[in-house]
Homo-oligomer: A and B are copies of this chain.
Amino acid sequence: MAVHAAVAGASGYAGGEILRLLLAHPGIRIGALTAHSSAGQRLGAAHPHLLPLADRELEPTTARTLAGHDVVFLALPHGQSAAVAAELGEDVLIVDCGADFRLADAGEWEHYYGSPHAGTWPYGLPELPGAREALRGSRRIAVPGCYPTAATLALLPAYAAGLAGPEAVVVAASGTSGAGRALKPHLLGSEVMGSMSPYGVGGTHRHTPEMAQNLTAAAGEPVTVSFTPTLAPMPRGILATCSAKARPGVTAQSVRAAYEKAYADEPFVHLLPEGQWPATASVHGSNAALVQVAHDTRAGRIVAVSAIDNLVKGTAGGAVQSMNLALGLPETLGLPTTGVAP
């Protein structure tokens, strides 16, 4: 019997992508679709690409419309998830694509978000050591941020194998859908096409502590992250270029071996053959993460690069992958590993 799923925030990009994936998921029946200002509209007006749901109506995001489902995906602005979760009951699986429950350290939360910490839920990055086990059977999931997903998958093997020094540098380029559907001047097509620009420079981006949390967990010692996000002229995709000092004794061979071992059994993370580098186009629409790594002996650094689709592995795909684990379904069920390219 199909699992009955609702999506709150269905008119945004994350919500739309969850629906795209759920439409192809053989174990899911799509229930309520809710929105805030778009409530009352046809879904086809918000997401003309979701033809099978074109005539479904967006309902208001309330406990009432979300009640009675087995799974509720929350694709809401930060700070709204706790209140909704409180009303839904403990046996409903809540998959939160917002930031509210990602960080374990209340101080870090308050430093970056300026509001009280709501708590910590099992973290929806199954590739992180221990995460897969914590997700199985869970009824609460905190879906990682898109940048932390990309950066963590790039550097995880280096830290888990003790090859990298404690100061990581991450520079990532994101497609514009990562900034959501809000009407902001710098997100206009006229502004973004033909242009690259950074934002949140100097460690102020809220995904910074999440990266540090993940890499610290992998390393077993504190890791700091210098993170610079940039906006790229493409609708989707994240390319994360990540590096750290190579510890003494590290060789190209030991780096390669660590990455091969780390991802040999991961269904969605693909270490590319040597000499081939990831391109975001290769994972357009796919839940795969492509990873490659090099050892720069002159500069003494390990340089790892990952490419993901920010809306899939970086959001909706990570959410569905974690949902599968929580529900006891095969982890890969319904999730594409082929990109739509060119």
Name the contact of A301 in the complex, choosing from B169, B195, B297, B338 (C-beta under 8 A): B169
Instruction: Tell yes or no: A203 within 8 A of B by CB.
Output: yes
Whether B241 lies near A230 (C-beta < 8 A) is: yes
Known contacts: A183-B184, A338-B20. The answer to whether A301 contacts B226 by CB under 8 A is yes
| A153-191 to B contact mask, C-beta < 8 Å, 1/0 | 000000000000001010101011101010111011111
Whether B279 lies near A196 (C-beta < 8 A) is: yes
Instruction: Tell yes or no: A228 within 8 A of B by CB.
Output: yes
Known contacts: A181-B188, A201-B303, A279-B196. The answer to whether A340 contacts B49 by CB under 8 A is yes
Whether B13 lies near A342 (C-beta < 8 A) is: yes
Least distance between A215 CB and chain B CB atoms (Å): 12
Which of A20, A241, A270 has the most chain B CB within a 10 Å cutoff?
A: A241
Number of copies: 4
Whether A279 lies near B195 (C-beta < 8 A) is: yes
Whether B193 lies near A176 (C-beta < 8 A) is: yes
Whether A188 lies near B185 (C-beta < 8 A) is: no
The residues in A between 8 and 58 inclusive whose CB is less than 8 angstroms from any CB of B are 13, 16, 20, 23-24, 42, 44-45, 47-52, 54
Which of A176, A245, A286 has the most chain B CB within a 10 Å cutoff?
A: A176
Instruction: Tell yes or no: A79 within 8 A of B by CB.
Output: no
Q: Which chain B positions have C-beta within 8 A of A195?
A: 234, 237, 279-282
Q: Which chain B positions have C-beta within 8 A of A339?
A: 49-51
Whether B285 lies near A237 (C-beta < 8 A) is: no
Least distance between A225 CB and chain B CB atoms (Å): 6
Which range holds the interface residue count of chain A? Answer: 35 or more
Q: Which of A93-101, A125-133, A288-296 contacts B (4 or more CB under 8 A)?
A: A288-296
Q: Which chain B positions have C-beta within 8 A of A169?
A: 169, 243, 301
Instruction: Tell yes or no: A202 within 8 A of B by CB.
Output: yes
Known contacts: A190-B177, A340-B284, A342-B177. The answer to whether A277 contacts B197 by CB under 8 A is yes
Least distance between A171 CB and chain B CB atoms (Å): 4
Name the contact of A338 in the complex, choosing from B50, B270, B273 (C-beta under 8 A): B50
Q: Which chain B positions have C-beta within 8 A of A48?
A: 272, 276, 278-279, 282, 290, 341
Sorted from nearest, which 5 A-B pairs have the closest CB atoms?
A202-B294, A49-B339, A195-B281, A189-B192, A197-B279
Chain A residues in the interface with B (C-beta under 8 A): 13, 16, 20, 23-24, 42, 44-45, 47-52, 54, 167, 169, 171, 173, 175-177, 179, 181, 183-185, 187-199, 201-203, 208, 224-228, 230, 232-237, 239, 241, 243, 245, 270, 272-273, 276-286, 288, 290, 292, 294-301, 303, 305, 307, 336-342
Supplied contacts A177-B190, A194-B280, 5 more A-B pairs, CB within 8 Å: A48-B279, A193-B194, A226-B243, A228-B241, A235-B281
